[in-house]
């Protein structure tokens, strides 16, 4: 699927004054840069709309646009919500929607103008619709904070920083690429500018009339990242500008998605993936049902937190650096932990990701007509 798109369109365009209030970013006698960002009221009234930045020169007494940039969520542009998806069969409709949105802003352009535009940002998301046993995706997302998603490429380690997104997800990122994980229902409930359909979907998820949804999103975050990331699939030319039909391809989105699962299954994460995940309010109940003693319950809890926070590889390094807590001692407690875990009913991160990976074998893009046939 495709989401955030930022594209630069070059050419000469006249922008009609239709009463929109533009924010002035740069202003000189013969050159200016202005921006229009739809606010919450605009989106509630008209639905999702792109952010627009225009670059103008004064020519014979008229301001002429010689370049403009648009940035928007392609899923919201098509469906008015990001709960549903899209694929490369929607590219023509995406271009039509962009032209229609620009006309509403006072800029008339053609499909050819959009298709020749240079892509500056592109996001490849994928929504996994979950069965009842995985009905709290947030509980599986939080432990991901402690996983190692760095990737060694030859002799170079691609370092990723972590950002916790309040209320709904986490993001690993560097200046070129972002990898985000979302509880889609919670994200829609917490977005600052929801559409009317966003609000309706949140209500349906809460009443279990729609499935919970876990999302992974890969973002090529700037022009250089787009050039390098897309060159892999075409001519290996990392300096060439890339265009909308080149980047909106299913095979590219799937390649990045599978790469995320490879990162998550890194050997350093094996122990963490095998750790059982519980909503905090259910932890005591599970221990009591299993008839586990207080000391064993605390041991299992401490081990789970320890593995999630520092990773199994680091636990081995710490333990092996002390003769008193060497390999033999650690193996004794590993066996004790395994005996406790075998008594407890629960799901592992590995179970969660295995379910998601199965959806990749026969990917299905959920569209509005699948849920709302009359809308």
Output the pLDDT for position 326: 62
Task: Report phi then psi at 135, rounded to 5.
Answer: -75, 0
Distance of CA 272 to the CA centre of its chain: 22
Predicted TM-score (pTM) of the model is 0.84
Residue 197: HSE in the Cβ half-sphere, 13 Å Cα cutoff = 18
Taking residue 310's Cβ as centre, other Cβ atoms within 10 Å add up to 14
Q: Which residues contact 317 (CB under 8 A, 6 or more apart)?
A: none
Output the pLDDT for position 154: 46
CA triple 349-355-361, angle to 5 deg:
140
Q: How many angstroms separate the CA atoms of 188 and 197, rounded?
A: 10
Q: How many angstroms separate the CA atoms of 356 and 258, rounded?
A: 11
Output the pLDDT for position 150: 64
Output the pLDDT for position 322: 66
Output the pLDDT for position 88: 93
Output the pLDDT for position 347: 81
Q: Can you read off the two tokens belonging to residue 86? A: 């899209």
Contacts 24+ apart (CB under 8 A), 208-212: 210/83, 210/371, 211/129, 211/130, 211/131, 212/129, 212/130, 212/134, 212/135, 212/136, 212/137, 212/183, 212/184, 212/185
CB-based contact 109:99 (threshold 8 Å): yes
Block means of pLDDT (10 residues each) for the chain, length 375 residues?
A: 95 84 90 89 80 91 90 92 92 94 89 95 94 83 75 56 77 88 90 86 90 92 94 92 95 91 77 73 78 85 70 66 65 79 80 87 83 64
Virtual torsion, Cα 284, 290, 292, 297, nearest 10 deg: -40
Contacts 24+ apart (CB under 8 A), 107-111: 107/13, 107/15, 107/16, 107/52, 107/54, 107/65, 107/68, 108/13, 108/14, 108/16, 109/9, 109/11, 109/13
For the chain, report the end-to-end CA distance as a whole number of angstroms. Answer: 21
Output the pLDDT for position 113: 94
Output the pLDDT for position 10: 93
């Amino acid at each position: 699927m495709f989401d955030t798109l930022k594209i630069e369109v070059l050419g000469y365009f006249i922008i009609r004054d239709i009463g929109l209030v533009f924010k002035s970013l740069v202003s000189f006698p013969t050159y200016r840069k202005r921006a229009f960002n739809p606010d919450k009221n605009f989106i509630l009234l008209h639905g999702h709309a792109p952010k627009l930045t225009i670059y103008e020169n004064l020519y014979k007494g008229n301001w002429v646009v010689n370049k403009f940039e648009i940035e928007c969520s392609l899923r919201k542009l098509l469906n008015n919500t990001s709960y549903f998806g899209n694929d490369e069969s929607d590219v023509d409709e995406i271009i039509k929607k962009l032209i229609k949105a620009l006309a509403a802003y006072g800029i008339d352009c053609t499909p050819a103008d959009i298709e020749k535009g240079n892509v500056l940002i592109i996001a490849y998301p994928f929504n996994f619709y979950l069965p009842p046993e995985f009905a709290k995706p947030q509980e599986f997302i939080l432990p991901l904070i402690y996983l190692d998603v760095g990737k060694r490429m030859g002799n170079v380690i691609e370092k990723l920083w972590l950002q916790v997104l309040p209320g709904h997800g986490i993001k690993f990122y560097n200046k070129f690429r972002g990898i985000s994980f979302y509880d889609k229902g919670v994200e829609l409930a917490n977005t600052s500018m929801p559409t009317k359909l966003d609000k309706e979907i949140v209500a349906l998820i809460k009443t279990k009339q729609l499935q919970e949804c876990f999302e992974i999103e890969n973002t090529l975050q700037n022009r250089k990242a787009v050039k390098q990331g897309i060159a892999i699939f075409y001519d290996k030319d990392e300096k060439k500008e890339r265009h909308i039909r080149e980047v909106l391809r299913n095979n590219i989105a799937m390649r990045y998605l599978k790469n995320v699962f490879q990162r998550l299954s890194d050997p350093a994460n094996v122990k963490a993936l095998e750790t059982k995940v519980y909503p905090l309010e259910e932890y005591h109940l599970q221990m009591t049902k299993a008839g586990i003693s207080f000391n064993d319950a605390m041991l299992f809890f401490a081990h789970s937190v320890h593995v999630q926070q520092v990773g199994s590889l680091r636990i081995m390094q710490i333990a092996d650096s002390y003769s008193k807590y060497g390999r033999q001692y650690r193996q004794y407690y590993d066996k004790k932990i395994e005996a406790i875990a075998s008594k407890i009913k629960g799901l592992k991160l590995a179970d969660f990701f295995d379910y998601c990976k199965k959806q990749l074998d026969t990917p299905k893009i959920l569209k509005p007509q699948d849920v709302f046939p009359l809308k």
